[in-house]
Chain A
């Protein structure tokens, strides 16, 4: 493996990008690895989560890691946040990195469906069997949620239309 070239400007820019996207704690990381030890993502075989993802960002390797799918396998379980002795909140760093990837349109294909659905119905997950399922157990076929509530859906669409997410073409 070729040695990593240290480029201070690149490192500064990478760290600032992640801080701006919500990963403020990254500067406190001491690379102890406590987070990776409890991470189900790492356990399942997504290698670039927690400590290693943070190392890559601290090395200024933002673009080099752009296609990495590990971040999209993160369960947001926050075991890492609970055990980190430095208050890094690694899950927030992972999500900041996801936002950076999404901004470059380097996202998991599985990310599209739920955004469309959230925009159209107010829910990330829906099913055609909703009414039948509900009637079967004695409930009103229409749930009291946004699913068939036009006013609620309009509110969500307004929030999404006015957000930076609108520029990504994901709904």
Chain B
């Protein structure tokens, strides 16, 4: 079985471990073995070392990539921010004259060396480009036929394309997540603010109200133009923001609707027949009704897929 180093980041293992569990379930069933990168740290997030010192950032990011190099595996991350940070760091290490030597001098103090042998992928890329939508479709136990999905690809998986190992053809009209959702039988609906930012991250910690205004515009576009059964993303930050902020918006009387939010591998795991109590158990916006709708005998297209 082909192995990938599963780089978890911070959000997924601590706040949304049901996303982690969904990855641990679906990948082996699809022929990929996720290997733990013991002792992995924060990527480091844009608001930490990258905001203060370039080489410290590169040293910490490189250390995480080295954990993959030591095991002879490429790194795959489920968080868009981690993907962005690690991809940019790797690009600088591999292409900026002198960078690798400078940073390796810092890494010498912890007895490590970056060589550049492991690539950086996002979970979505491994699903779309390595496993492929046909193989995914053949593993669906419960078809999502008739259900409408609004996708949220997120920022850091899309731009800048020049630092990525695998990428969208046109990042302003991304299609990979659309195709991944269609592989489950669902209909993916259009909305005009598809490539808008969800407002999580630096913006939210610097000025929550500005961040919420941006997200509210996005939600309104989703609700009014598409009225989907759920929102599906492959970014853990978008997931936390879009799931959690709906609760705040309802409490403030800003919205009167609820749209369940899933990380893609959670939805895939449900479609493959895995236990919702393990793969989709933690959320602020209730997902019970839509989960019951998905895991319904009427939707069964085959008995055993795992």
Contact = CB atoms under 8 A, between A and B. Distances in A.
Interface of A: 21-22, 40-41, 43-46, 69, 72-79, 81-82, 89, 91, 95, 98-99, 102, 107-108, 110-111, 114-115, 118, 122-127, 129-130, 133-134, 136-139, 143-147, 149, 151-152, 155-156, 158-160, 162-165, 168, 170
Given A82-B171, A130-B13, A163-B55, A40 B21 contact: no
A46 B49 CA distance: 22
Place the interface of chain B in its size category.
35 or more
B260 interface: no
B39 A145 contact: yes
A99 B159 contact: no
Given A69-B206, A122-B39, A136-B282, 5 more contacts: A44-B210, A124-B10, A126-B10, A137-B279, A145-B10
Interface string B168-180: 0001000000000
B87 to A, nearest CB: 10
Interface of B: 8, 10-11, 13-18, 20-21, 24, 36-42, 44-56, 59-60, 63, 81, 84, 106-107, 109-110, 112, 155-156, 158-161, 171, 196-197, 199, 201-203, 205-207, 210-211, 213-214, 277-279, 281-282
Contact of B197 (A77, A99, A102, A170): A77
Contacts of B8: 143-145
Nearest to A40: B197
Contacts of B50: 76, 95
A132 B24 CA distance: 18
Nearest to A119: B48
Contact of A73 (B13, B63, B155, B210): B210
Given A44-B199, A124-B48, A152-B41, A136 B14 contact: no
A114 B45 contact: yes
Contact of A74 (B15, B160, B202, B210): B202
Contacts of A89: 160
Contact of A170 (B52, B107, B277, B278): B52
Contact of A146 (B40, B112, B158, B214): B40
A75 B49 contact: no
A64 B202 CA distance: 23
A98 B51 CA distance: 6
A98 to B, nearest CB: 5
B161 to A, nearest CB: 7
Contacts of A155: 39, 63, 110, 112
B162 to A, nearest CB: 8
Contacts of A133: 14-17, 282
Given A76-B84, A79-B155, A138-B278, A145 B54 contact: no
Contacts of B278: 137-138
A125 B14 CA distance: 8
B277 to A, nearest CB: 7
B110 A159 contact: yes
Contacts of A115: 48, 52
Nearest to B96: A24
A3 B46 CA distance: 36
A123 B10 contact: yes
A84 to B, nearest CB: 9
Contact of A147 (B14, B59, B214): B14
Contacts of A147: 13-14
A137 B155 CA distance: 28
Contacts of B277: 137-138
Contacts of B109: 158-159, 162
Q: Which of B24, B39, B278 has the most CB of A within 10 A?
A: B39
30 contacts: A22-B54, A40-B155, A40-B214, A46-B210, A75-B203, A76-B156, A76-B202, A81-B160, A82-B161, A99-B52, A111-B47, A118-B45, A125-B10, A125-B14, A125-B42, A127-B15, A134-B17, A137-B281, A143-B17, A145-B41, A146-B40, A146-B41, A149-B39, A152-B39, A155-B39, A155-B110, A159-B60, A163-B106, A165-B49, A165-B56
Q: Which 8 A-B pairs have the closest CB atoms?
A: A152-B39, A77-B155, A40-B197, A122-B41, A143-B13, A163-B56, A78-B159, A110-B205
Q: Which of B37, B38, B47, B199 has the most CB of A within 10 A?
A: B47
